[in-house]
Amino acid sequence: MNSTQSNDPTLAPAWARLSDLAIGLRARELRGLFADEPDRGPAWTLEAAGLRADFSKQRITGDVMSALLDLAREQGVLAKRDAMFAGEHINATEDRAVLHTALRLPPGATREVDGVDVAAEVRDVLERMADFADRVRDGRWTGATGERMLNIVNIGIGGSDLGPAMAYEALRFYSDRDMTFRFVSNVDPTDITEALRGLDPAQTLFIVASKTFGTQETLTNAKAARDWIVDALGEGAVEKHFVAVSTNAERVTAFGIDVANMFGFWDWVGGRYSMDSAIGLSTMIAIGPGRFREMLDGFHAMDEHFLRAAPESNIPLRMGLIAVWNRDFLDIPTNAVLPYAQFLSRFPAYLQQLTMESNGKSVRIDGAPVDYNTGAIYWGEPGTNGQHSFYQLLHQGTEIVSCDFILFAQALEPVFDMQDMLAANALAQAAVLAFGRTAEEVRADGTPEELVPHKVMPGNRPSTFILAARLEPHALGALIAMYEHSVFVQGAVWGIDSFDQWGVELGKAMANSILPDLQDADRPLDRDSSTDALIRAYQALHAQG
């Protein structure tokens, strides 16, 4: 950052200009913007890495985009981007590099950080993962009784669960359908018991994913799984039915897992950016090493686009800047992710962690409090399901929600014209959100006057439409990387650290201190009156079980 830049974006000259532009734009509607620009659709569309991103239904103008690009320059966004790719320690509060992009470098590439070729280390882990995945998939890896592993259970939480669970569901079409994949994250005992229901211990392999091998929820579930295996097959079965994704060899060994079956990753990979590391072992077993490489190639294609494309044609840069515009200048607090693809049913949940854990910050990277809005609330469900639940609020509610529509042109499993029906719904919803329906148009349909106000759609509700040919591994990688880099752009503009997550830590620490209180009814309590009363009420109800 040069001497003219500040972590506070409100001091940037472009911020004031954007504030003025927002005042003027509130008087304009998308209908008018399209009328003024007959070719607005194609003009506001960018393509890269197999994705087509149409930003034309966002409430932006050329002047707004120009000012946003100026804001990016004034905040040093591209310099920060280059520093990230170079392996500089841009995660300032933890003094770490941020190098998830190194996880998907092509074979033969190099990337030296702090004197170490991290690309070579990544390749080594990927090769070990591929060898293991092939042995599980073709039956050479057998359990304690000599049977093939047909059930894979991934035990993790946060990024060690959301990424693998989302990717498996997204790429289920390409998975080995003779195998069953389940994912356990919640310390609620029903999660592990339901995941194990109906599985044969002799054919079940557990992947325990925890960098430190000390995450409470993960290790609690792993212990339950271990007891299940030992009860059925004996203590000696553990090393044949468990592998670890971790960096703590001592704890892995103490659990009973051979360190030869431990797959590592690095402190420069944040959990929410780790699904293409060893955390993706279950994904690789499901779809095979070749398909996993295709996914990595999709990630890398979008990485290269973000790194090298001109600012005016850079999809993640534009996406991130529009997110800042919506959040800070149009006062839109939430963003709905609406994939018109059932296989992407877990994608909104995955993005919740990626976006909100990254940019849910109220202090800047220098420790000063922010006095502007940062990360939006992300949520969503697949279309067309959502149309019959929350789209009513999207169209006529008092709160405006920005939306991301995601559509694939080719059905993975074609059934007569159902893909066309799906596409028609996605296109229609985006158009109605943008343009609405006026009272005059409603009356022209012959609607009784008393119903006219109820059928008016105000429109002017912004959305981005993302289109790709087919939901395949390459497309999934590119899609995720697009969002990753958009999140980076937002954080870089806001001057916050998008790569720490201190807000997650205090609750976990307090839970550890409350646990002994819950387990000892005679233990004196000295917390707030609400928590103490709830502890006693819980103990009384628990004792009745």
Q: What is the pLDDT of residues 220-271, one digit of tens each?
A: 999 999 999 999 999 999 999 999 999 999 999 999 999 999 999 998 999 9
Confidence of residue 27 (pLDDT cuts 50, 70, 90): confident
* Higher-confidence position of 340 and 545: 340
CA dist., res. 380 & res. 387, Å (int): 11
Per-residue pLDDT, 545: 87
Per-residue pLDDT, 508: 85
Q: Is the pLDDT of residue 424 over 60?
A: yes
- Does residue 81 share a domain with residue 224? no
10 found inside a domain: no
Mean pLDDT of 98-107: 96
53 φ, ψ (degrees, to nearest 5)? -115, 115
CA dist., res. 368 & res. 196, Å (int): 48
Q: Is the pLDDT of residue 117 over 50?
A: yes
- Does residue 125 share a domain with residue 59? no
Question: Which structure tokens are listed for 422?
Answer: 């799906």
Residue 114, sorted as left (phi over 0), alpha (psi -120 to 50) or beta, turns out to be left
Query: Integer distance in angstroms from the first to the last C-alpha of the chain?
Result: 60
CA dist., res. 10 & res. 21, Å (int): 15
Confidence of residue 524 (pLDDT cuts 50, 70, 90): very high
- Does residue 170 share a domain with residue 273? yes
Q: Which residues are tagged catalytic?
A: 357, 388, 508
299 found inside a domain: no
Q: Is the pLDDT of residue 413 over 70?
A: yes
Cα-Cα-Cα-Cα dihedral of 545, 512, 365, 489, to 10°? -40
The closest of 347, 462, 475, 348 to 409, measured between CA atoms, is: 475
- Does residue 441 share a domain with residue 358? yes
Mean pLDDT of 349-371: 96
Cβ-based neighbour number of residue 504 at 10 Å: 12
Mean pLDDT, the chain, integer: 96
- Does residue 348 share a domain with residue 243? no
Domain boundary among 464, 480, 498: 498
Confidence of residue 392 (pLDDT cuts 50, 70, 90): very high
13 found inside a domain: no
CA dist., res. 36 & res. 20, Å (int): 21
456 found inside a domain: yes
Distant-in-sequence, close-in-space partners of 151: CB < 8 Å, separation ≥ 6: 179, 180, 181, 182, 199, 200, 203, 204, 205
- Does residue 282 share a domain with residue 318? no
- Does residue 352 share a domain with residue 253? no
Confidence of residue 5 (pLDDT cuts 50, 70, 90): low
Confidence of residue 507 (pLDDT cuts 50, 70, 90): confident
pTM of the model: 0.96
Handedness of CA 169, 172, 174, 178 (dihedral sign): positive
Mean pLDDT of 87-92: 94
Residues β-bridged to residue 45: 54
pLDDT tens digit sequence for 180-217: 999 999 999 999 999 999 999 999 999 999 999 999 99
6 found inside a domain: no
- Does residue 106 share a domain with residue 85? no
- Does residue 400 share a domain with residue 356? yes
Q: Is the pLDDT of residue 536 over 70?
A: yes
Mean pLDDT of 65-74: 98
- Does residue 226 share a domain with residue 119? yes
How many residues are listed for the chain in this entry? 545
Q: What is the DSSP letter of 44?
A: T
Which residue in the block uniquely carries the two structure tokens 């919803």? 429
42 found inside a domain: yes
Mean pLDDT of 490-496: 98
The closest of 406, 475, 405, 411 to 434, measured between CA atoms, is: 405
Mean pLDDT of 55-82: 98
pLDDT tens digit sequence for 304-320: 999 999 999 999 999 99
Per-residue pLDDT, 504: 87
- Does residue 469 share a domain with residue 326? yes
Question: Which structure tokens are listed for 321?
Answer: 């800047």
Confidence of residue 4 (pLDDT cuts 50, 70, 90): very low
Q: Is the pLDDT of residue 342 over 80?
A: yes
Mean pLDDT of 41-64: 98
Confidence of residue 506 (pLDDT cuts 50, 70, 90): confident
When divided into structural domains, the chain yields a total of 3
CATH code, domain with 72: 3.40.50.10490
Domain boundary among 290, 321, 351: 290
Distant-in-sequence, close-in-space partners of 472: CB < 8 Å, separation ≥ 6: 171, 174, 294
Mean pLDDT of 320-338: 98
Mean pLDDT of 7-33: 96
Confidence of residue 1 (pLDDT cuts 50, 70, 90): very low
Helices (DSSP H) in 279-409: which residue ranges?
Answer: 281-287, 289-308, 315-324, 347-352, 358-359, 391-396
- Domain containing residue 539: 508-543
DSSP-derived pairing of the beta strands 112-113 and 151-155: unpaired
Q: Is the pLDDT of residue 164 over 50?
A: yes
459 found inside a domain: yes
Which residue in the block uniquely carries the two structure tokens 């905040």? 75
Helices (DSSP H) in 271-310: which residue ranges?
Answer: 281-287, 289-308
Q: Is the pLDDT of residue 280 over 80?
A: yes
Per-residue pLDDT, 2: 44
Q: Is the pLDDT of residue 3 over 70?
A: no
95 found inside a domain: no
Cα maximum dimension of the chain:
77
- Does residue 539 share a domain with residue 488? no
